[in-house]
Structure 1
Amino acid sequence: MSFSRPIKYQRRDHPNGDICCVPQCAISGKFNSVVSFHRFPRDEPTRERWRRNVRRNDLVIKNNTRVCSRHFVSRAVSQGGRRRLERGAVPELFAWNDYSLPAARPTVCETTHRPEGEPTGEIEMDVGLLLRCHDYHANPEASSLYTAREKIEAQRQEIQALRKRLHEVTLKQSFGLERFLASDDDIRFYTRFASYRHLQAFWRHIEPATSRMVRVGSRSSSTLSTTAAPDPAGQQSRCLPQIDELFLFLVYLSLGLTEKDLGDRFNIVQCAVGGIIKAWVHLLYTLLGVGIWMSPDAIRATMPRVFGKYSDTQVLIDCTELRCQMPSSVLVQSKMSSQYKSHTTLKGMMGVSPNGAVTFVSSLYSGSVSDKELFRQSGIVPLLDKDMAVMVDKGFGIDTLVPFKVYRLPFQSKTSQLSQDHVPVTRDIVRLKMHVEKTTKSVKGNKLFDTIIPLTIAGSINQLFAVACLLTNYQKKPLDKAWCEAP
């Protein structure tokens, strides 16, 4: 609102508490002069026009809510007797529309001649003095209730936006399961589980046993526990939440990252990473390896129809080799050297049931050991049932080791082709052995075993290999009958 000249008012002998409700208007009932105060009309359409023109969102209209006459045009104010507004009058003069104020009517003091020098009782004040006399401007920070609340609301929204942005930035900088839970593609990449829902189901399965986990490492890394009992103090001083520790271990298997890299990603010290990996590999090796061997009755109950005439198969056997770092000892090199891989390797054997579940994992042996010798030393022979058969690759000459039937790919002579009778047998066995081949491929999909294994983890490589094999039972579904019946 624009004020081009000082305004003269006479103090009232009996001031009242009337205050103009228009934002940035300082008129009150402490002065009379030309100013009068008017209630909001009862007519609802006119009342709504008043409210809209006042532009004060927090305005609550009460019986004592007033608008001063300075916001009405001159023709809207009656000049005779009690000052009333014309019917349908609406305030139109405000600061937001830069309207000029009507000329002030001369007061009695102005029209009465007084001798020069006689006090008139008038107060000449400019806008600044008038604003300072208004109750709204007793506190400079609260010059307008509407403006103050508007600023507070804007600041509140800005704070909420900043908090949301800070949470997003913090989440992007942190490397934990919470960061990737919305993306099943990321979960498959980092953990090899099909989705976050599958990973959560696996976590609920093993979570009760995590309280008995034996911590490995120093106290400074918060990963030491001398007993298998729960340690509340250790829980509070843990470097990472337990589910993030599991996530770290799965990332270690899936991507084969170094401990230093994992420490940088999870923002923990390198020695703590080593303690977490050792603790979780021992826990999962103990939990997942219990009761995995299936009885003959369970095998028959879950036998896929695709096995047909081979329905007495109890387990499918296959060997796999993992390339490892070449040791410095020449003697050890000769023992670990593999003719098949032309490299130093570790060799292990895996048993898969006809429905696709891993039921046996052997220890790792030097790469020079034969398949037959590995089968004999693995300890699987006492587990086999004499009324059932095993299915093996053509390199397993185990007929003298087991007294029961062995399904094996026919050998091909160097000078002759396979006979016509061997063709359907070869085709059927190759088709069925895809079960164990897919499982082996899934295990080798973990980058830790797909690259050259360093000798620094030789002490725990057996447990790591067994856990990777057993995790495939949870990362993928066993082969069901519907799948096996498909052509």
Structure 2
Amino acid sequence: MGRNVKRKDRHTSSTKRECTKADLISAQALVALQDEVEQVALQDEVEQVNDYENFEPELQVHHELDMETQTPVKETMDTSTQTEMCAADITVLEAQAASNNKDLAKARQEADQIKFSQESFSKDDKKVEYYTGLPTFTILMVVFNYVQDKLPTRHSLTYFQQLLIILMKLRLAVTHEDLAYRFFVSESTISRVFNTGLDALYGISKLIAWPEREVLWKTMPMQFRQTLGKRVAVIIDCFEVFCDRPTSLDARTQTLLNYKHHNTIKFVLGIAPSGAISFVSAALEDSGTDNTITLSSNFFDHLLPGDVIFADRGFDMKDCAGFYGCEAEILAITSGKAELSALDVEKSREFAHLRIHVKRVIGGVRQKYRILSNTVPLEYMMTNAEIQAPKIDKIARICCALFNLNAAIVSQ
């Protein structure tokens, strides 16, 4: 009897397990079938949408159910209205895109221009020195305040940007095309700004002034006092600027410098013992000696009786200086002599130590304002009834005046 009960319980348990297993298999099959049905329905819906979009415009309809009868109601769309609305929308979107692109380009242009604005230079003296050659923003603003009223009004450029264009042209010797890209204007605008700006900035050449004798005495460096006393008024030298080859044979001969194999023009430069440039002559043809070029300038008009001129060997001007009641200290000439006396050797050594300052000034002007180190075009040397002074004269005097705004190179 007990065995029969146990056998019956095992049979019941086995039957329950088989039923549970069958129910699980049925549920899984039902879920899989439901997923398949949903996937097929979704695919059919996508195909219907695609078929609807591929219909010809005149055949496209949409169906709605009437709320009362629940029957489909066919309503034909006005295809012409739909096409016109789409075209209008596209036109609006294109206009908005064009406006956005224009605003973006303007924003980029303003962002680039701010690099050369007054604000971008105000707190960066290193930037001021690189682009203008001036040591600080304060000194740059002194120059700007002087020249601002003399500059013309231009809608595309501020007064400060016009001054920057002139100074960058002198300082970096960049082309008009380069400046046009930097300031987003045409090359002709850059040319006009430079030409009119030179005339406006030319008044700053007043900084090249021959100092009074009392000022010379008070600013005389100790090394000059120990060697020549207080009577040295000026150190004189010439510096050359390369120019294009003239088409005229006469002009070509007058500007040809044989030992440099290049056509050049010369300037007579006078430097005070303190290191400031006190005299710049007009551009002179480089066909004569340094002495003849100096005599053709108005250099001697600035001297006073008793002044001492300190010059190199090429300036044989003792007789000319004596005519004006002055004295010329010239480095000893070695040509035609077997050797110099001990006194001449010692004197030449002391003079050479002082002469180095004028070379430092000339080198500093060339380094600060590279336009004087480049080959200048012939148009810079042209004069006519309207242009009394050639452009190269203005450039040289402006560069020397701006150089005087830097710290003195001779230790006081």
TM-score (norm 1): 0.56
> Aligned partner of 2:350: which letter?
D
Name the residue aligned to 1:247: 164
2:372 corresponds to 1:449: yes
Quick one: distance in 1 between partners of 2:404 and 2:257? 29
2:311 corresponds to 1:392: yes
- Relative contact order, higher structure (CA 8 A, sep 6+): 2
Quick one: distance in 2 between partners of 1:433 and 1:352? 10
Mapped contact 1:394–1:411 kept (Cα < 8 A): yes
Which digits, 9 at most, give the CA deviation of each residue in 1:306-363, with x for residues without a partner?
1113131001111001111111222211111012322100111111111111111100
Which secondary structure does the structure 1 equivalent of 2:238 belong to?
strand
State the shift of 1:284 in Å. 2.4
More helix, by proportion: 2
Mapped contact 1:349–1:375 kept (Cα < 8 A): yes
> Aligned partner of 2:227: which letter?
K
Quick one: distance in 2 between partners of 1:424 and 1:306? 15
Mapped contact 1:175–1:265 kept (Cα < 8 A): no
Name the residue aligned to 2:227: 309
2:359 corresponds to 1:437: yes
Inter-CA distance 170–206: structure 2 relative to 1 (3 Å threshold): closer
Quick one: distance in 2 between partners of 1:278 and 1:270? 12
Name the residue aligned to 1:210: 148
2:403 corresponds to 1:462: no
State the shift of 1:293 in Å. 1.3
Quick one: distance in 1 between partners of 2:139 and 2:130? 18
Quick one: distance in 1 between partners of 2:195 and 2:113? 26
State the shift of 1:175 in Å. 4.9
Structure 1, gaps ≥5 residues long? 1-162, 216-222, 224-233
Mapped contact 1:339–1:368 kept (Cα < 8 A): no
Which secondary structure does the structure 2 equivalent of 1:289 belong to?
helix
Inter-CA distance 239–377: structure 2 relative to 1 (3 Å threshold): farther
State the shift of 1:289 in Å. 2.2
Quick one: distance in 2 between partners of 1:182 and 1:205? 17
Q: Which moved more, 1:330-339 or 1:281-290?
A: 281-290
Structure 2, gaps ≥5 residues long? 1-102, 382-389
Mapped contact 1:444–1:450 kept (Cα < 8 A): yes
In the alignment, which of 282, 297, 301 is matched to residue 363 of structure 1?
282
Name the residue aligned to 1:288: 205
Which digits, 9 at most, give the CA deviation of each residue in 1:269-321, with x for residues without a partner?
22221222122222222233267111111101111111113131001111001
Inter-CA distance 171–333: structure 2 relative to 1 (3 Å threshold): same
Mapped contact 2:144–2:160 kept (Cα < 8 A): no
State the shift of 1:467 in Å. 0.8
Name the residue aligned to 1:346: 265
Which digits, 9 at most, give the CA deviation of each residue in 1:226-278, with x for residues without a partner?
xxxxxxxx3xx443222221111111011111222211211112222122212
Mapped contact 2:361–2:409 kept (Cα < 8 A): no
Mapped contact 1:175–1:266 kept (Cα < 8 A): no
Q: 4+ residue runs of structure 1 moved beyond 6 angstroms?
A: 166-169
RMSD over equivalenced CA pairs, Å = 2.4
Quick one: distance in 1 between partners of 2:336 and 2:355? 24
2:330 corresponds to 1:412: no
> Aligned partner of 2:407: which letter?
K
Quick one: distance in 2 between partners of 1:272 and 1:386? 50
Name the residue aligned to 1:105: none
Inter-CA distance 455–367: structure 2 relative to 1 (3 Å threshold): same
Quick one: distance in 2 between partners of 1:369 and 1:173? 48
State the shift of 1:415 in Å. 5.2
In the alignment, which of 398, 408, 412 is matched to residue 478 of structure 1?
408
Which digits, 9 at most, give the CA deviation of each residue in 1:29-76, with x for residues without a partner?
xxxxxxxxxxxxxxxxxxxxxxxxxxxxxxxxxxxxxxxxxxxxxxxx
Which secondary structure does the structure 2 equivalent of 1:319 belong to?
strand
Quick one: distance in 1 between partners of 2:204 and 2:196? 12
Which digits, 9 at most, give the CA deviation of each residue in 1:71-100, with x for residues without a partner?
xxxxxxxxxxxxxxxxxxxxxxxxxxxxxx
Name the residue aligned to 1:319: 238
Quick one: distance in 1 between partners of 2:143 and 2:167? 16
